[in-house]
Structure 1
């Protein structure tokens, strides 16, 4: 029996995932979606939370019986995209639950992307060649969940390539091709949720498909509960007496997403803060800066405010940068943001903490010139975080494996010294030709190496 979202037990080790899920749900009904990736050891409840969140997804309005979930105000599918408003009104509209679909590891390309509709082709009364939309097309304006995405990216790179297209822009792009039929290209607004166990083969998603890892706006780490009382509460989940009253809050938060998220003001100083972080810390992808602002805006909606503050930026940075920068860099960024917030509250007593005047911000460097306009372009429409658990690169409990050490070093790429600063050490002996090496000292197999 599937677990209910509002009855799941929250604790310090998974609270950050609940927050990320609720921000992503709020973004699902806004113009910009938030893709979410949860990492952690098996059995930590990642998949349970992401599947249970289906209960709190809002409903959407679509054209009656449209399998592509066309918005009546902006039809996009091959069947309805050319219709005028009068024709759409004649077809009627309906309210349905927001789509929630899963891509399994046994899924084929045709299942995910789309294929020839054999039912309509073999219809004896009126046979016709038509496309059957796949999971991604049917999940338009909804959520797609992928469990163990690191394994999927390793064993099914073709589907990973499709996800890159769908998640690369907002809205994404989906191209359906079938022999004998014209090519169909669709805009798709899909929110992708994924979970993975980075300690198991084939390793962390970052090391398998770095591009795909960067497509996720938010990344969180989930650990096992360390409190025995919390564990007992989880084990007794079926008993109503053991459920905390605070767990009703997520459902109340989700109810607010039934309507479009209210307009939130994004002050220019907050954009300047993110842009300066981008330049100062050398963030690799501009998508990271955009993700910080989207997450900050949704966090502002979640706390029922109308103006983004520095606490929202801090929350957004902790969720959007965990998989993009080294742990020590993320800690430095968060410390800098908190210091700015404390300085603003002491210097400007009449302002709320986290709201900085524009003249208090340092002038952005010229290298960030084109960044400000692009970040503001994302937002044309109009609880301070004291400590964020589980931020930083995921580290398994117990001994750190060699694979994880390699991953940590790889994740610290930007912290490595420049090539010009690296010391050059010559080999102790000049290289020899193979013919000059005595046969007795040659290593031909791994067994020879072990013998030595």
Structure 2
């Protein structure tokens, strides 16, 4: 695979870039859903962010890239090997795995070799895309066109962090913790509510309408295609700065305070919007905490809640037959009523 487009060189699309940075700082947020027109840089941004992240430590020889520092999350093979020898660690790039629309279930979850199991008594398992995505990013383009049985499968794995494959009385279980990134064009079909709710954040991207922005997009992309090495070197300092920003934010995250006043504000906002369950509040608080870490702030405040409200809540609203405004406008209106005049995004 060729070198990805630099994250810092992406023109505009600030909400999408902000959401991806939040997910990079706190993977527990639950991933990002990006709705928008074709050709607006959705897949470019995902691959650019993954290339931006520092390499991660993994056990040598592990197909799931188990983290040496979290033994309780190791796969069965790493546990078995560790009983006989000390496992070595190495640094590898953060994986970005594409889940194509036409993928079979076996390709996604992995395949058990039943014939070899019966003939040789060996539980042979061929890992799938979920195994490769562990501790990285699983990217599903046009996720609203994904087959229903794969949607159900993703919902289960995203909730448990494990992938269980069962065939003919045989079973294999392995870790599958990944940041789920989906993209889609709303004009080509809606996303099932069960899957949409599993995405922590939802953002909207649009084709730029500003002449200067469009010219900048075309110029940068053309320069990138003509000489990638020179273009990437030109943006290296900016990308390095963002990388250091992410690393520092991850280190700050555990110490970020969330006062009761912030929790009350988050609950009030969700109650005023009528969101179902408490996942909205939890995501809003986590996203705001990640924003505070990125900003270098010690505690979550109104500004962080305001800035993360739309991306955390717009996809959790019920349809209101008496209100034909879009979900983003409804969130912004509720934010303005609770926090006072200002910008919700």
Shorter-chain TM band: 0.7 to 0.9
The alignment status of 1:204 with 2:200, answered yes or no, reads no
Deviation at 1:112, TM superposition (A): 0.8
The alignment status of 1:135 with 2:129, answered yes or no, reads yes
d(CA) in 2 for partners of 1:157 and 1:174? 17
The alignment status of 1:331 with 2:319, answered yes or no, reads no
Within 5 Å, give how 1:183-332 maps onto structure 2.
Answer: 183-200=171-188, 203-205=189-191, 209-237=192-220, 238-239=222-223, 249=238, 251-258=240-247, 260-262=250-252, 263=254, 264-325=256-317, 326-332=327-333
Within 5 Å, give how 1:169-180 maps onto structure 2.
Answer: 169=159, 172-180=161-169
What runs of 5+ residues in structure 1 fail to find an aligned partner? Answer: 343-384, 389-452
Q: Secondary structure at the match of 1:302?
A: helix
State the superposition RMSD in angstroms. Answer: 3.0
Distance 1:235 1:287, change over 3 A: same
8 Å Cα contact 1:100/1:142 also seen in 2: yes
Deviation at 1:5, TM superposition (A): 2.5
d(CA) in 2 for partners of 1:56 and 1:145? 16
What runs of 5+ residues in structure 2 fail to find an aligned partner? Answer: 225-229, 318-326
The alignment status of 1:78 with 2:76, answered yes or no, reads yes
TM-score (norm 1): 0.64
Q: Secondary structure at the match of 2:292?
A: helix
| 1:109 alignment partner in structure 2 | 105
TM-score (norm 2): 0.83
1:39 aligned to 31, 35, 49, which one? 35
8 Å Cα contact 2:11/2:217 also seen in 1: no
The alignment status of 1:160 with 2:154, answered yes or no, reads no
d(CA) in 2 for partners of 1:327 and 1:234? 26
8 Å Cα contact 1:103/1:135 also seen in 2: yes
Deviations 1:311-336 (A, max 9, x none): 11112211111212234431222213
Distance 1:137 1:194, change over 3 A: same
Distance 1:251 1:224, change over 3 A: farther
d(CA) in 1 for partners of 2:289 and 2:52? 20
Mark the structure with the bigger radius of gyration: 1
Deviations 1:143-179 (A, max 9, x none): 1000000111xxx211111111122x3x523211122
Aligned residues: 322
d(CA) in 2 for partners of 1:251 and 1:88? 40
d(CA) in 2 for partners of 1:298 and 1:255? 15
Within 5 Å, give how 1:369-380 maps onto structure 2.
Answer: none
**Which structure has the highest helix share of the two?**
2
